[in-house]
Chains A and B, each alone.
Chain A
Amino acid sequence: MHELSTILLVEDNEDDADLILYAFKKSGIENPVTRVAHGDAAVHYIEGTGPFADRALHPLPALILLDLKLPRRSGLEVLKVIRDNEVARHTPVVILTSSDQNTDIKRAYDLSANAYLVKPVSRDALLALVQTLEAFWIKLNRVVGP
């Protein structure tokens, strides 16, 4: 079951989103990855409102990859919504961002991020990162069941 659970990718940069999706595909990870491009869309998805009202089509993700610098609503605001949401509060959230600023890292962990990763520049490093993410968070890690 776990192998087929959805991964939610919150990423505004088209290039980064394409490269991450490519890395998932290249690594042979078959989980459906839904990508949203801004903070408001991420909140809609988590709360099952607006365009994401149908849970059959848009199931709650087993893993959320969250960029910090997002239009409309920042990644940290999205993270707060997730942690305040009755259903999604235990969902693993991995911050995947360009920023390696200590203040960002601290604020993310203050809001109970599960992990904080910095996007690598090299494509090979990105492949390794995606494979590790899948192996740990999707295959090994146990989440709170429904």
Chain B
Amino acid sequence: MAQATHAMLGLAATEGAVNFRSILVALLSVGAAFGIRLTLDPVLQDRAPFLLFLLAVVAASATGGARVGILATVISAVAALWTFVPPRGSLLPQSAEFTLEVLVFAAASLAVALLASRMRMARLRAEAGEAQQRQAEAEVRRLNQHLETLISERTAELEAANSQLEAFSYTVSHDLRAPLRGMEGFARILLDDFGDSLGSQGKRYAERIVAAAGRMEGLINSLLTFSRLQRSAVALRTLDPTRIARSCAKEVEAAAASSAGDVTIQVDAPIPSVMAEPVILGQIIANLLTNAAKFHKEGEPAQVRIWGETRGKRVRIWVEDAGIGIAPEHQAKIFGAFERLHGQETYPGTGIGLAIVKTGAERMGGTVGVESMAGVGARFWIELAAGRTAQERDESHEVDHA
């Protein structure tokens, strides 16, 4: 009994505040039970004095939980003892029979209150769970909406940045070149048509204007190539790098010949076919060859070799020189834009060539790297997916059409 009470009190403590409505329900139920029992009193007389009060306790417990149930039990017990249990007008039962009835009523009521309370708790818990779930769902919806707003804001910002970048590269290509044409063109006219009156010193200065304009044009072109590489869509197809390598080699040798350098480039044919975009692959090979030709040892001719090897489903294209090489501590950063290890006088350049190589390779799903020792030369490589054979292409066509 004490244990039951303890359990009930424990439950009651977790039920929270008793509200006014449930007390009212308890009082009304008990009142109704009292009224009906009173009406039936001439028929029932002293029999079953507690019968209807048990229903009142059930109603009170169901609405208000254990504490209200106990309240209803106590009021019912007092009302029934006073009114219907003989001797009427007294709280003490007349005989052992009625004492037993009081105890049965009390036990039954407590059991009902306990059960009702348990059911009510379960219901409350379920409701709370549902509410929590609804709240969680609402939170998820709210977060989703917030994310979508964030994404569309960021997209708009990126688009704005992108169009600014495009406007910038337009300005670079259009407006920065215009003064260069003036510099180059008029300096050349001075050299061609006014060479005699310039004298040898004047001619050398005019030649340096021409050379400076050429360098600046190279820089602008590299910048534009680099910025386009990062933005443009890349469509890969199977290419034979051998022809591209040969044509780049010819260009680099010709450019070197005009600037008094002695360059031989050996193309080891065939280089296995690769998946690439022709313009980008051309830019990569041209930059690697130019680089290899440029960093030769002073007083020695530049010896450059390009060849390819198949490595599983990939092809690695190597460009090797016997030049000044790169110390290990510098190898990690040479592929970054504007990284230069040497002064403009020793080895002219924009510092953007290897960045084009790296970005270009990455845009085509490839990788780049370098093996080098200072003073011994350098071997640069790019690795791309191997080109598909005619048979593989036919098969993939069949698959595509299936």
Contact = CB atoms under 8 A, between A and B. Distances in A.
Contacts of B181: 15-16, 19, 119-121, 126
Interface string B361-378: 000000000000000000
Given A98-B173, A99-B170, A101-B170, A13 B185 contact: no
B174 interface: yes
A62 B28 CA distance: 110
A15 B185 contact: yes
Interface in B175-218: 175, 177-182, 184-186, 188-189, 213-214, 217
Contact of A98 (B177, B186, B189, B214): B177
A127 to B, nearest CB: 9
A122 B182 contact: no
Contact of A19 (B173, B174, B175, B182): B182
A16 B174 CA distance: 13
A30 interface: no
Chain A interface helix/strand/loop/mixed:
loop
A35 interface: no
Contacts of B189: 22, 123
A69 interface: yes
Most buried by B among A19, A121, A122: A121
A39 to B, nearest CB: 16
Nearest to A126: B185
Contacts of A98: 173-175, 177-178
A54 interface: no
Nearest to B187: A123
B177 A15 contact: no
Contact of A15 (B170, B186, B214): B186
Contacts of B175: 98
Contact of A99 (B174, B180, B213): B174
A123 B188 contact: yes
A3 to B, nearest CB: 25
Interface string B148-183: 000000000000000000000010011101111110
A101 B228 CA distance: 11
Contact of B185 (A19, A100, A101): A19
Nearest to A97: B174
Q: How large is the interface on A (under 10, 10 to 19, 20 to 34, 35 or more residues)?
A: 10 to 19
Given A22-B189, A121-B213, A123-B189, A15 B182 contact: yes
A50 B180 CA distance: 35
Contact of A16 (B170, B173, B178, B188): B178
Contacts of B214: 121-122
Nearest to B182: A15
A124 B179 CA distance: 16
A123 B170 contact: no
Contacts of A97: 174
Contacts of A16: 178, 181-182
B182 A101 contact: no
A75 B341 CA distance: 45
Interface in B74-106: none
A120 B217 CA distance: 10
Contact of A119 (B177, B179, B213): B177
A87 B184 CA distance: 39
A16 B252 CA distance: 30
B60 to A, nearest CB: 82
Contacts of A101: 170, 173
A90 to B, nearest CB: 29
Interface in A101-146: 101, 119-124, 126
Contacts of B177: 98, 119, 121
B237 to A, nearest CB: 20
B186 A19 contact: yes
In order of increasing CB-CB distance, the 9 nearest A-B pairs are: A15-B182, A123-B188, A19-B185, A98-B174, A121-B217, A123-B185, A99-B174, A121-B180, A98-B177
Given A98-B173, A123-B184, 8 more contacts: A15-B182, A19-B185, A99-B170, A99-B174, A121-B180, A121-B184, A121-B213, A124-B188
21 contacts: A13-B178, A15-B179, A15-B181, A16-B178, A16-B181, A16-B182, A19-B181, A19-B182, A19-B185, A98-B175, A99-B174, A100-B173, A101-B170, A119-B177, A120-B181, A121-B180, A121-B184, A122-B217, A123-B184, A126-B181, A126-B185
